[in-house]
């Protein structure tokens, strides 16, 4: 256990160990209580526990048969139609001697990356093989064809709440006997943005590199501009001090941060700023327009200066 990365070492083993998404956990408990499940489609952002939840369900439902009657195909596998017709179909056709009411289970991660032809082939297999239960995980349910969605119970997972992430990070630090500051934990939560897996990975990287969790060490590891500086930029804009905002943002850009990271962090700062909802939405709309321009290649300093002028 000592050599395991924190992500694996602290991976939930039971439904109660999952962080956040209480309504989804209630559904999972109901499935375990009934002893069987329908086909499932889990949708949500990365790091919210989709794959882990399915593994826990499979272990609870299959018990000692889990090793032989559970199959997982993850994002690193080929997702073409041949894989569906060969690997998935052969697993479904394989004879099993499970007790009555139990079914083989297969998890397909990142199913929204499958081609439409592969999804159509999967739909046929889901219909033909009632002895197998499918658990599909995706980030964007709009990329899943309707026939598959209609054959599944859809469970939507949200980003992990900030207070829940704070509790988990502190728990890990205390178990690992790592020194931490409140500002350092807050920085981890800010950078993770609801992705618990990314947050735990950043925590371990910070511990490995610096031995302690502080605001400074966390932002050095994740290589993002400090939000405190961008808060000053935002406040200067709100007060109409355009020149001051430009001076602050130029200092940030001179440090060599990626422009996409700067605008992404700036948008998080806007979301958390204590301003009216109307103003927040207006600011985010302008910032999002700039992010689109940057992603299209217009990443000059002038673009950011234009945004600050509009905000001011």
Q: pLDDT per residue over 136-167, tens digit each? A: 999 988 999 999 999 999 999 999 999 999 99
Instruction: Give domain status of residue 179, yes or no.
Output: yes
Do the domain assignments include residue 151?
yes
- Percentage, residues of the chain above pLDDT 70: 97
pLDDT, mean of residues 73-77: 64
CATH of the domain at 183: 1.10.8.60
Q: Does residue 32 form part of some domain?
A: yes
- Check pLDDT > 80 for residue 81: no
Residues 93-132 have pLDDT tens digits of 888 788 887 889 999 888 888 888 888 988 999 999 888 9
Residues 305 and 200 in one domain: no
CATH of the domain at 88: 3.40.50.300
The pair phi, psi for residue 218, each rounded to 5°, is -65, -45
Same domain, 35 and 151: yes
User: How many domains, the chain?
Assistant: 3
Q: Are residues 78 and 131 in the same domain?
A: yes
Q: What is the mean pLDDT of residues 219-236?
A: 91
Residue whose entry in the numeric block shows the structure tokens 């739909």: 123
> Last residue of some domain: 200, 222, 244?
222
Domain shared by 88 and 202, yes or no = no
Are 117 and 180 part of one and the same domain?
Answer: no
Distance CA 31, CA 33 (A): 5
Chosen domain end from 222, 244, 265: 222
Residues 234 and 295 in one domain: yes
Give CA–CA dist 41/23, Å, rounded: 15
Angle formed at CA 239 by CA 235 and CA 240, multiple of 5 degrees: 115
Residue 4's pLDDT is what? 84
> Over 90: is that where the pLDDT of 91 sits?
no
Sequence-ordered list of residues with C-beta below 8 angstroms from that of 87, at least 6 positions apart, any chain? 73
Question: Whole domain around residue 244: which residue ranges?
Answer: 227-311
Q: Are residues 67 and 147 in the same domain?
A: yes
**Structure confidence at residue 118 (pLDDT):** 86
State residue 79's pLDDT score. 63
């Amino acid at each position: 256990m000592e050599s395991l990365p924190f992500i694996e070492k602290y991976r939930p083993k039971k439904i109660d160990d999952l962080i956040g998404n209480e309504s989804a956990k209630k559904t999972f408990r109901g499935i375990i209580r009934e002893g069987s499940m329908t086909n499932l489609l889990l949708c949500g952002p990365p790091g919210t526990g989709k794959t882990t939840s399915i593994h826990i369900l499979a272990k609870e439902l299959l018990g000692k048969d889990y090793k032989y009657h559970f199959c997982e195909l993850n994002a690193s596998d080929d997702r073409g139609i041949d894989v569906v017709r060969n690997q998935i179909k052969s697993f479904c056709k394989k004879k099993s001697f499970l007790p009555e009411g139990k079914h083989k289970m297969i998890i397909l991660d990142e199913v929204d990356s499958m081609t439409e032809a592969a999804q159509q082939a999967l739909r046929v297999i889901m219909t033909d093989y009632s002895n197998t239960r499918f658990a599909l995980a995706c980030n964007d349910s709009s990329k899943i064809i309707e026939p598959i969605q209609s054959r599944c119970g859809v469970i939507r997972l949200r980003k992990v709440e900030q207070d829940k992430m704070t509790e988990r990070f502190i728990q890990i630090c205390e178990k690992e006997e790592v020194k931490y500051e409140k500002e350092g934990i807050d920085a981890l939560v800010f950078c993770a943005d609801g992705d618990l897996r990314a947050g735990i990975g950043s925590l371990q990287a910070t511990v490995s590199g610096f031995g302690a969790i502080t605001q400074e060490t966390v932002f050095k590891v994740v290589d993002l501009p400090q939000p405190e500086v961008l808060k000053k930029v935002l406040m200067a804009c709100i007060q109409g001090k355009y020149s001051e905002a430009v001076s602050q943002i130029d200092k940030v850009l001179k440090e060599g941060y990626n422009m996409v990271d700067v605008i992404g962090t700036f948008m998080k700062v806007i979301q958390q700023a204590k301003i009216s909802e109307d103003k927040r939405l207006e600011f985010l709309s302008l910032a999002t327009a700039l992010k689109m321009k940057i992603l299209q290649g217009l990443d000059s300093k002038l673009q950011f200066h234009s945004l600050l002028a509009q905000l001011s």
